[in-house]
Every structure is written in C-alpha cells, then in structure tokens.
Amino acid sequence: MTAGFLDRALPGGHHVQVGRLPPGLLPDAAGLAALWALHPAHYHEIMMHGRPVATPRWQQAYGADYHYTGRVNRAEPLTPAMTPFLAWARAQVDPRLNGLLFNWYDAEHAHYIGKHRDSTKDMIEGAPIVTISLGASRLFRLRPWRGAGKIDLEADHGAVIVIPQATNLAWTHEVPHRAADHGRRISLTLRGFVASQ
C-alpha cells in the first residue's frame, strides 16, 4: 500500500489505489500549456482487426518504448518538465518505474480511450501501472474483463491511480468522452520496463 493513498477494493479480490500529486508538483496554467504543446502533430496508429487505425487522442512514449496492439510507440527522451513526475512516482510508488506514456485529450475533438487492458510486453513482473491526471477532469472507468458491472472514478487535476499488474489483467479501464466534458486533459502513465528492451 502506497503511503497517503486510499485502497479501492474491486470485486474478485482485486484493487486499485487512489491518491494525489503533492501540491509542489501540480503544474500551473503555464506549466500545463507547456506540457500540452508537446503533443505530436499527428495521431499514433494502432492495429485493430488487422488494419491500422488512428488513436482518438494524441500519444507519445518517453524514456522507454511501449509495445501494444501490434505497434511500437518509439520513445523520445524525457524532458526536464517530465522528470519530477517520474522521480516522485519512483520514490512514492515503485522504484522500477522508468517509462512514461503521455496521452493528450481535447474535449473539442471528443478524444477518448476505449476499454482495454494495458499491454504488459517487456514490463517488469509485478511493477504497477501508475496514471497521473492533469488538467480538466475526466471519468476513469473500470470494468471486469469478461464480466458485468463498472466502477467509476473521477480523474481530476492531480489525481493518481495505481493499477497493480494482476488487476490490469482482470479489469479493463477506459476514459470515455462525455457530452459534458470540456477543456484539455493530459495523462501520464508510468510503467516499469526491463532494461533490455
């Protein structure tokens, strides 16, 4: 259990942890604008049903490549603005975290991510998946894999959600677009990858 985090029990013996970034790490409007300006010019492509499909949001890996849905998101070097988030997560959650995946969501474009389980290819066994939410609030929805029901969490500015690997395999998560959503959200997902990737 991560200090200062709340444990949210899920059916089936699984759980997630919910916490917050310390105030000193919360970017102000200028900091958010600088992170937003990093989004790629084009959408990343994934393979769905044997054909390439553009993701409904901007996405970029930093620090470590991310392999999923038949594609590789090639990592760029971490920027100075990103390293404090990684340093905090390594100190507070798991020292094995070494890769960041940024997703940029703009409500004007109805950006979202559908229900999925994160790829664990090249991930360190037992390392959790940590999501930091910045900017506008969005719904973070968990559903049992091949089961019924849902658990909704509100991912607002500074929210942190820790998903153990076992929970990731048994539950899907998603960030749907809602008609009432507005503004821009940035999510930083941190994972621990083996060094040989």
Q: pLDDT at residue 69 above 80?
A: no
For residues 15, 26, 35, 131, the Cα torsion angle rounded to the nearest 10 degrees is 0
pLDDT at 52: 78
Q: For CA atoms 53, 55, 58, 59, give the dihedral sign.
A: negative
50-75 average pLDDT score: 85
Could you give the CA distance from residue 1 to residue 19 in angstroms, rounded to a whole number?
A: 11
For the chain, the farthest-separated pair of C-alpha atoms sits apart, in whole angstroms, at 45
Show the DSSP H helices in the chain as ranges. Answer: 29-36, 83-92, 165-170
Mean pLDDT value across the chain: 93
Calculate the alpha carbon distances from 110 to 38, 95, 174, 177 in Å.
19, 35, 14, 6
pLDDT digits (tens, 9 = 90+) for 143-166: 999 889 999 999 999 999 999 999
DSSP assignment string, 102-117: EEEEEGGGT--EEEE-
Q: How far apart are the first and last CA of the chain?
A: 28
> What would the two tokens of residue 68 be?
């999923």
> For 20-24, 44-48, 114-118, which range has the lowest pLDDT when averaged over its residues?
44-48
pLDDT at 67: 83
Q: Which residues of 178-188 are buried (b: 16+ CB within 10 A; e: fewer)?
A: eeebeebbbbb
Q: What percent of the chain has pLDDT over 90?
A: 81
Confidence grade of residue 197 (pLDDT, cut at 50, 70, 90): very low
Specify burial of residue 139 (Cβ count, 10 A radius: 0-12, 13-18, 19+): middle
Calculate the alpha carbon distances from 148 to 37, 58, 142, 145 in Å.
39, 30, 11, 8
115-130 average pLDDT score: 93
173-185 average pLDDT score: 97
95-108 average pLDDT score: 97
